[in-house]
Amino acid sequence: MSQTIQRAATVLELVSIRPRTQSEVAEVLGVHRSTALRILGTLGESGLVRRRPDGTYGVGYRLTWFASLASEQFELRDLARPRIAELGAECGHTVHLAVLEDDRIVYADKIDQPGTVRMYSQIGQPVRLHTSGVAKAILAHVDAEVLERMLDGYAFERFTSTTLTSRGDFDDDLAAVRQRGWASDDGEFEDFINCVAMPVRGPDSKVIAAVSITALRAQAELDELEGLLPRLAQVCEGISKSIGWRP
């Protein structure tokens, strides 16, 4: 991995969230001021970053151009989007789409609800494998060797009292997910958030993605979310069919 490129990517993330001063960038990256300015300068030359009139650095027009050019490369997300948007509108909870990419699972889309707390999840970032519903919904169905590769050296870190912290417990949970067809996050990462999730299948019936319904426990306990499973199954089947899966 290239540390220079990683730093540049971090800069892009920083300035996407909000425009930053070059001191902030240096501080977050842990580099010298002149190093930060060099990175910003090169990103500026490339059009990915721009210096705003107030002296802070924000995202450049070129980055939005690239996103626009690339918009047709997200076939699965594009096909899923209207369905998960509708699901979100109906249930009033946050809906996530996560996809399996080689040996990791990343959030591909998210339907937020106005007036609710923004969830921790960030599109494009990897999913925490042992606590998130979407990850379990996918991992329950991947080939054994893919599962081994993904869990090789994986740290089952405890976050809450319900976090699964051993490979054995995790495997048992995956077996249960396989059996019942859906996964959950029972406050395993943050004890005030729970969700239910189900898999999405590709044309060859392999599980390639998952959709979840996530809520604050104060808004909906797990058993209430379980009541949404028939509708969630319908949405996942609709997405699967739209990308070529046939039961």
Partner DNA sequence: AGTATGTGTTGCAGTATGCGCAACAGTGGT
Partner DNA sequence: ACCACTGTTGCGCATACTGCAACACATACT
Could you tell me the smallest distance in angstroms from the CB atom of residue 244 to DNA?
A: 17
Dihedrals phi, psi of 190, to nearest 5 degrees: -130, 125
Q: How many CB atoms lie within 10 A of CB 105?
A: 25
Q: Which of 10, 12, 28, 35 binds DNA (CB under 7 A)?
A: 35
Stretch binding its own copies (CB under 8 A), from 66-74, 139-147, 168-176, 225-233: 66-74
Question: From CA 202, how far away is CA 127, in angstroms rounded?
Answer: 20
Q: Does 47 bind its own copies (CB under 8 A)?
A: yes
Mask for 187-216, x = binds DNA (CB under 7 A): ------------------------------
Residue 205 binds its own copies (CB under 8 A): no
Residue among 1 and 218 whose Cβ is closer to DNA: 1
Buried b / exposed e over 152-181, threshold 16 CB at 10 Å, is: eeeebeeeeeebbeeeeebeebbeebeeee
- Residue given tokens 């080689």 in the structure block: 102
For 14, residues 6+ apart whose C-beta sits below 8 A from its C-beta are 20, 24, 25, 28
Among 55, 114, 115, 230, binds DNA (CB under 7 A): 55
Asked if 192 interacts with its own copies (CB under 8 A), we say no
- The answer to whether residue 148 forms part of the interface with its own copies (CB under 8 A) is no
Report if residue 65 touches its own copies, rule: CB under 8 A.
yes
**What CA–CA distance (Å, rounded) separates 10 from 30?**
11
- Only one of the segments 29-37, 81-89, 107-115, 137-145 lies at the binding site for DNA (rule: CB under 7 A); that segment is 29-37
Closer by beta carbon to its own copies, 12 or else 222 = 12
User: In this chain, which of 12, 79, 176, 216 binds its own copies, going by CB under 8 A?
Assistant: 12
Q: Which of residues 116-145 bind its own copies (CB under 8 A)?
A: 122-125
Residue 17 interacting with DNA (CB under 7 A): no
Binding of its own copies at residue 62 (CB under 8 A)? Answer: yes
Among 2, 68, 161, 179, binds DNA (CB under 7 A): 2
